[in-house]
Amino acid sequence: MGSSDSSSDDASATTTADASDPSSTASGIAALISSDTASGATTEGDTSASSDDSSSVSLGSCEPLTLVYARGTGEPGGPMGALVGPQLSKALKTDTGGKVSVQGVSYSAGIAGDIDLGASGSPAMASLANKVLKECPNTKLVLSGYSQGALLVHNALSTGKIEGSKVAAVCVFGDPFNGQSFKGVDDSKVVRYCGSADPICDHNGQKNAGGSHLGYSKEASAAAAKVVSITNSGSATSS
């Protein structure tokens, strides 16, 4: 399935189970995420990777592959979060022989960002991604996000803040708009994970991972391998 050129309104690309009432959809997403965040539930899988794997782009280095990642709502651990980002970063570094730059998006990641469907956080992602594309024109850009972070990816692309044709791959976890296309990015370049017990990403009934909304760390290695394959960035090909 190819990408879809939907409206560039800040709340675009938001067709969900109740597409006739986007505000209701947003409120439902926010309530579910708030409940998970407030519960203090522990994550599943490996959460040992450092959340400090997020500085290489800001320091000006250019690698063959660049990951720009946005954490989920209320997630601790700095811009890369703690539940998925550090594990994905670690796996990509292993699979590429270290030839990857990683940067977490600095944004508030509050409930308001769920209500506005990523519109308030997407400018920060776009600014970072466009900086990468300007300063490292030969790098392959990967946009990634978990939960609200996935909304940032949708919004940044649907509103034209980032040109989809310049994105090498998209990788999302627990995406509230699970199953929807990313404007300008062919679906063959998209990696999605939606847990079998994750109500936040189950709007379209598409599940391809086990576990809950807090359990995606265990999918990081497989996700990294898919991204490397899509971008042809393995250690044997990126030297």
Tokens read off for 161: 């803040």
Predicted pLDDT of residue 27: 58
pTM over 0.85: no
Of the candidates 202, 226, 197, 192, which has an alpha carbon nearest to the alpha carbon of residue 214?
A: 197
CA distance 38 to 51: 21
CA distance 154 to 118: 8
Predicted pLDDT of residue 217: 86
CA distance 5 to 15: 13
CA distance 231 to 147: 23
Q: 3-class DSSP state for residue 181?
A: coil
Predicted pLDDT of residue 17: 35
Report, as residue numbers or ranges, the catalytic residues: 147, 198, 213
Domain boundaries, the chain: 22-231
CATH of 22-231, one of 3.40.50.1820, 3.40.1390.30, 1.10.486.10, 3.30.450.90: 3.40.50.1820
Beta bridge partner(s), residue 144:
69, 171
C-alpha Rg value of the chain to the nearest Å:
16
Predicted pLDDT of residue 212: 79
CA distance 209 to 215: 9
Mean pLDDT, the chain cut into blocks of 10 residues (239 residues total): 38 37 52 52 40 46 93 91 93 95 94 92 96 94 96 96 97 92 95 89 70 85 96 64
